[in-house]
Amino acid sequence: MAKRHKNVKQMMVLLIPFTFLLIFIFNRTAFPQNYKIDKINFIHKDKNTIDDSELENAVSVTKSKYFYPDVLPGDVISLRNFCFDNGYFEAVVDKNVSYNVPDSTVSIDFIITENQHYRIGQINRTGLDNVLDSLKKMIDTMKTVQYNNYYSKALMINYSNGIVDFLQNSGYMTATIKNDSGFILRKQDTTVLLTINFTNADTLYKFGKTEIVIDSNIYDVSTDILRKGLAYDEGEVYSKRKRLDTDKNISQMPIIRSARIRTVSIVGTTVNLRIDCRLSRKHELTPFVEGTNINNYFYAGGGLQYTNKYFWGGGRIFTSEIHSLYHSMNVDLAEFVNQVTQPYFINNKSSLNDKFSLGYYSLVGYYDYYLGNITSLRYYIADYTFYNKATVDLNEELLKIVYNFGNLQTINLYNSFLSITFIHDNTNNAVAPSRGYYHSITVGEGGILPQMILNSFTNNFSYSKFIKLSTSNRYYINLSNTEGENVIASKFIVADNISRGGGTKVVPIQPIYRYFSGGSNSLRGWYANANGFMNEKRFGGNFWLEGSVEFRKRLFPGSSSFTKNISSVIFADYGNVWETHTDFRIDQIAFALGFGLRYKIFFGPVRVDVGFKMYDPLDVTGKRWLYENDFKTIFTNKLAVNFGIGEAF
């Protein structure tokens, strides 16, 4: 009995460590989430036409540094679906997992056999028999999906949604794609027959009556001014886009806090609508701080603003503000501004703005007191035209310019500037665009009003006579699936002031109308207004050419902490300013390279840029290129650090 007890005891001694060993092995194999992912490989058995970066975005296992085996089967299915959606209907996807137990790592292989890549052999559309023939012809011109292109589900959806949008904007309000059988694919050898089934595209609707209701109308806001925001007329063919434009037009009025447009009834083919509006506060008094760039100088300051959102009725907006801005001991300004905006001045595509300013502005070399008024007529043309906006500006100014160096004397200046600007803008964001193109062209004339007025009586005012021509261009390309994560941005600007005529009261074009080079929004290898082929760079030039290319990258796109707002740029700037366009020389174009950091806060990114003068045409021969200088010279004379608010362009 004792011997048997001894044997049991020996077995227990052996069993306990063996049990712990089994538990350890089980934990290491049954719970591999403790394993870190070492490598993820995409092995292509027959072809390699799909980019691995696209495959990485299609699977979940790449989103974590730890391995979760229950994710793998779903990822295999996701890869098959991805291949199918891109025309590889017979693709085969397998997986292989290799464990490295000592290192607690795992390698994952996705093995892909693409097989046949199918092209579109034919496109059929059903359910459009009752659509007007003229509209059918326009649908036929849509080329998002074309015969003999490789099949793509994303393009097919964009194509079909484009047709639905077109129909709904052309009166067929209820047109849509069938829920149960919207898309049918049939393989035929190496091609696929695509059939898109539309439904409810058989009734042409028109806009009926629109009722506008204001909840708690304590300011007696007239519905007549809101009605000017309607983008359609009663009896007009129904359009979803015009309905959305109406919602936007009314919601953008400051006195309106919210606006909701809804269908209240459909009588036959007539759609009757109702717009429910809620008002915001009419009066607002707001202190503010601001940071801005003016003539390439970075200013910081603040002020106080009063807003009346329904000034004397008619939808007018009145603002009055006083503010001051500071750059340095010699560069600052203080200003009092009153501004009135009249929306829907001519129609719902136009507005009139009048801005009155009284202020003091100090710069290196001179300061001025000014009294000015700018009247602007803004007109929205259309989305489908190249130039979709236009602005006509009349600027009148009375200035006392006091020069505080050299032999220059005080000038009492009365000048006017009349200009027209045409704008094309399809960028996706007004503050920080990541896609799209902006282009503007301006033609203006300075001095016509003073010429008529000042020469009519005795006075001690002078004026300048000139023509201004300018164009500004910006282009943005988004390089990542996440908007704004990786962006290439570029700009190109050319501007020219051309003096015209003379007279006893005519003086050269003054600095307030000239152009400057160098600084936070210009060539960042130079400090503000430190570049240019003029005797006095601080007074600017009359011909300006400038451009930039920069790569913007969000450094921590997956972060949820404060680091998510950090981004960086590398940039190349080029350009210069000359006294006139006849002085322009290609070999005098300056060039800067650099890098910068941004931190996004509530009113935009705060930025710091470090720029190097790669080519300085103003330097002496043998020192113009950066590499021709020693390190001491580079870090004392060839480098600039500029600060700013918002992107450089």
pLDDT band at residue 135 under the 50/70/90 scheme: very high
Report the candidate in 12, 608, 74, 643 with the shortest Cα–Cα distance to residue 328: 643
* pLDDT for position 28: 46
Query: What's the pTM value of the predicted model, to 2 decimals?
Result: 0.77
Q: Residue ranges per domain, the chain? A: 1-30, 34-113, 119-199, 206-279, 364-513, 554-649
Phi, psi (5° rounding) for residue 139? -65, -35
The string of DSSP codes covering 518-551 is: -STTS-TTS-TT-B-BSS-GGG-BSEEEEEEEEE
Q: Which range is least confidently modeled, 4-13, 390-399, 416-425? A: 4-13
Q: Could you tell me the pLDDT band of residue 142, with boundaries at 50, 70 and 90?
A: confident
CB 191 within 8 A of CB 117: no
Query: Is the Cβ–Cβ distance between 238 and 208 less than 8 Å?
Result: no
Positive or negative torsion for Cα 191, 197, 201, 202 = positive
**Average predicted confidence (pLDDT) for the chain:** 90
Amino acid identity of residue 339, one-letter, is: Q
- Dist CA 609 CA 648 (whole Å): 10
- The per-residue pLDDT for range 396-428, each reduced to its tens digit, is 999 999 988 767 788 999 999 999 999 999 999
Residue percentage of the chain with pLDDT more than 70: 95
**Encoding tokens for residue 52?**
């691995």
The Cα 438–Cα 491 span in angstroms is 9
pLDDT value at position 24?
Answer: 45
The pLDDT assigned to 15 comes to 55
Q: What is the mean pLDDT of residues 179-187?
A: 90
Q: Is the pLDDT of residue 26 over 60?
A: no
CA-nearest of 472, 415, 417, 419 to 443 is: 419
Can you give the length of the chain in residues?
649
pLDDT at position 317, please?
A: 96
Tens digits of residue pLDDT in 505-538? 899 999 889 999 999 999 999 999 999 999 888 8
pLDDT tens digit sequence for 211-228: 999 999 999 999 999 999
Q: Please tell me which residue, 498 or 602, carries the higher pLDDT value.
A: 498
Specify the CATH number for 119-199; select among 3.20.20.70, 3.10.20.310, 1.10.10.10, 3.10.129.10.
3.10.20.310
Q: Select the CATH number that applies to the domain covering 34-113 from these four: 3.40.50.720, 3.10.20.30, 3.10.20.310, 3.40.50.300.
A: 3.10.20.310
Query: Who wins on pLDDT, 8 or 292?
Result: 292
pLDDT at residue number 23: 47
User: Residues 577-589: what's their mean pLDDT?
Assistant: 95
Distance (Å, whole) CA 83 – CA 47 = 13
For residue 553, the Cα-to-chain-centroid distance in whole angstroms is: 14
Give the pLDDT confidence score for residue 13 in this predicted structure: 52
Residue 18 binned pLDDT confidence (cut-offs 50, 70, 90)? low
Task: Assign 30 a pLDDT band (cuts: 50, 70, 90).
Answer: very low
How buried is residue 383: exposed, middle or buried, by Cβ count under 10 Å (0-12/13-18/19+)? exposed
If you average pLDDT over residues 303-315, what whole number do you get?
Answer: 94
Note the pLDDT of residue 379: 95
Single-letter code of the amino acid located at 65? K
Between 408 and 439, the higher pLDDT residue: 439
Backbone angles phi, psi at 253, to 5 degrees: -70, 125
Give the largest Cα separation in the chain, rounded: 136
Long-range contacts of 244-248 (CB under 8 A, 24+ apart): 246/275, 247/275
pLDDT tops 80 at residue 558: no
The confidence band for 8, taking pLDDT boundaries of 50, 70 and 90, is very low
Angle (CA) 240-241-247 rounded to 5° is: 90
Phi, psi of 608 (to 5 degrees): -135, 130
561-579: b (≥16 Cβ within 10 Å) or e: eeeebebebebbbbbbbbb
pLDDT higher than threshold 80 for residue 602: no
Tokens 């950091």 appear where?
Answer: 597
Q: How would residue 6 be classed by pLDDT, with cut points 50, 70 and 90?
A: low
Closest CA to 238 of 142, 174, 159, 160: 174
At a CB cut-off of 8 Å and minimum separation 6, what does 398 contact? 370, 371, 372, 413, 414, 461
Burial 324-348 (b: 16+ CB within 10 A, else e): ebebeeebbbbbebebbbbbbbeeb
Highest mean pLDDT among 95-99, 538-542, 562-566, 611-615: 611-615
CA–CA gap between residue 193 and residue 123 (Å, rounded): 6
pLDDT of residue 495: 97
Fold of the domain built from segment(s) 206-279: Ubiquitin-like (UB roll) (3.10.20)
